[in-house]
Structure 1
Amino acid sequence: MDSSTNMTPFVKCLMFTVVCLMIAGSCCEHSLDRRANVAKRSDNDTYYNIYTKINTLEKYVSNLETKLQTRTKLLRQVLKSVIEMDSNLGLSDKNLKKERKLASKKNALGFTTKLSGSYSSTSSIIRGSLILYNGGNAYNGTVFTCPSPGLYLFHVSLMSNSRLGGILIYKNSQQLTLAYTGDENPQVNGASVSAAVWLSVGDQVYLCPYSSPLWINLNSAFTGVKVH
């Protein structure tokens, strides 16, 4: 006789319940293991992502810091160059002003010369014995030739013991003024005279004796300067 036929309905129901519980337990265990594995992988992925992002952020910050240091160094070099350029420009401006001032002094039109010697003719041109200043090189030792138009001032100081001693200032062939020491024959007498005159390019100014013979003391002088 089959054993299953001898089982009572209660026993069959009990066995069915046990089998169901075993199957359910196995399924539940499998489900928990699966969930645990999934949870474990998820945690690992989360940790991996966080560390990866941290590493990436650290690299980014490091690169940014390097770039900032490079830019800072570059800016310092640029600033240093600008300061040096500004300093050089300042020196250049000072040098330029100094050179212009020196050039203006060198190119200032004017001259001063000492006079001396003896002259036996009133047609003689009195020569400079020692040129002290000759800005513009317009005075050649005997005649001043105007290089640029303008108002000029000329001055003569004469020391002489010649009777009727005197010096005339000429513009081209025109007599301007006379420095006259007197009619008598003194030991040494002095006289001076000035003349302001407008000159055009090429006009000439020079000195001639008022009378002859004329002896000129070495302390005499002739000066000319452009005033405007």
Structure 2
Amino acid sequence: MLHFLNFVWCVAFVFIIGEKGSAYSLAVSNSSEEYGYYNIYNKIDSMQKAFQTLETNVQRKNNMLRQILQPITKMDDNIEMSDQSSQVTKTVQPLQKNDTAVGFTTRLQHTTYSSSSSIIRGSPILYNGGNAYNGTVFTCPSPGLYLFHVSMLTNTKSGGIWIYKNSQKLTLAYAGSDPQWNGASVSAVVWLDVGDQVYLRPHISTLFIDGNSAFTGVKIN
């Protein structure tokens, strides 16, 4: 009987110990699960805060970059508009005739001159800027450096044309001694003051000039 009671007490003790152990394990398990959930929530919150901080920093840097690039963009736009306006101006504005330019071109009159003191006439006058050439003499309207050129076509033996400044001979266009058709040309650059005169005279007493001969003068400076 005593042995049986001892056995019963042992079984009861083991059962009690087992129940307490189960309760303790369950409590520990529940506590661990709750602790795990708590850590996950904390991590999620931390990640959300980190993303918010990152987004704020990115927006701030974008604003700074926009402020830096905005003046450069405006400068590029201004340069492009300036280039376009200059191109439009160049395209739209036509070339204007300069009425103050001094110069002339004339064909020489188709005729024969019988004296070396004759002044060779120009006709027709093709251009006469400044109206300084009257068909025989160019009279300087403003001081400066001038260029004159004469080209001659003739069949007169030893024919030629002198360019004169006032009473001074400058240069000679000489056609040569062959009595066949010959051409000759010559140029002269000369400084003129107001009132100085430039004109053409024959080299010899008798000179025939073809109408395709020409005389040109222009102020170059």
Structures share fold, TM-score greater than 0.5:
yes
Match of 2:149 in 1: 155
Match of 2:218 in 1: 225
Distance (Å, rounded) in 1 between the aligned partners of 2:205 and 2:168: 19
Post-superposition Cα deviations, 1:51-109, rounded to whole Å, max 9, x if no partner, equal xxxxxxxxxxxxxxxxxxxxxxxxxxxxxxxxxxxxxxxxxx99xx65xx5341x3211
Q: 2:128 aligns with which of 118, 134, 151?
A: 134
Match of 1:213 in 2: 206
Match of 1:169 in 2: 163
Distance (Å, rounded) in 2 between the aligned partners of 1:210 and 1:102: 41
Match of 1:196 in 2: 189
Distance (Å, rounded) in 1 between the aligned partners of 2:96 and 2:165: 30
Distance (Å, rounded) in 2 between the aligned partners of 1:203 and 1:190: 29
Give the CA deviation at 1:117.
1.3
Q: 2:175 aligns with which of 181, 187, 195?
A: 181
Distance (Å, rounded) in 2 between the aligned partners of 1:189 and 1:198: 31
1:112 matches 2:105 = yes
- Secondary structure at the aligned position of 2:189 is classed as strand
Distance (Å, rounded) in 2 between the aligned partners of 1:103 and 1:161: 39
- Secondary structure at the aligned position of 1:107 is classed as coil
Give the CA deviation at 1:214.
0.4
- Secondary structure at the aligned position of 2:158 is classed as coil
How high is the sequence identity, in percent, across the aligned residues? 68
Letter in 1 for 2:144: G
Give the CA deviation at 1:221.
0.1
- Secondary structure at the aligned position of 1:102 is classed as coil
- Secondary structure at the aligned position of 2:96 is classed as helix
Match of 1:143 in 2: 137
Post-superposition Cα deviations, 1:112-144, rounded to whole Å, max 9, x if no partner, equal 000121100000000001100000000000000
Match of 1:121 in 2: 115
Q: What root-mean-square deviation, in Å, do the aligned CA atoms of Structure 1 and Structure 2 show?
A: 1.9
Distance (Å, rounded) in 1 between the aligned partners of 2:184 and 2:165: 20
Q: Deviating runs (4+, > 4 A) in structure 1?
A: none
- Secondary structure at the aligned position of 1:139 is classed as coil
TM-score by length of 1: 0.55
Letter in 2 for 1:223: T
Structure 2 residues not aligned, in runs of 5+: 1-88
Distance (Å, rounded) in 2 between the aligned partners of 1:118 and 1:128: 13
Structure 1 residues not aligned, in runs of 5+: 1-92
Match of 2:21 in 1: none
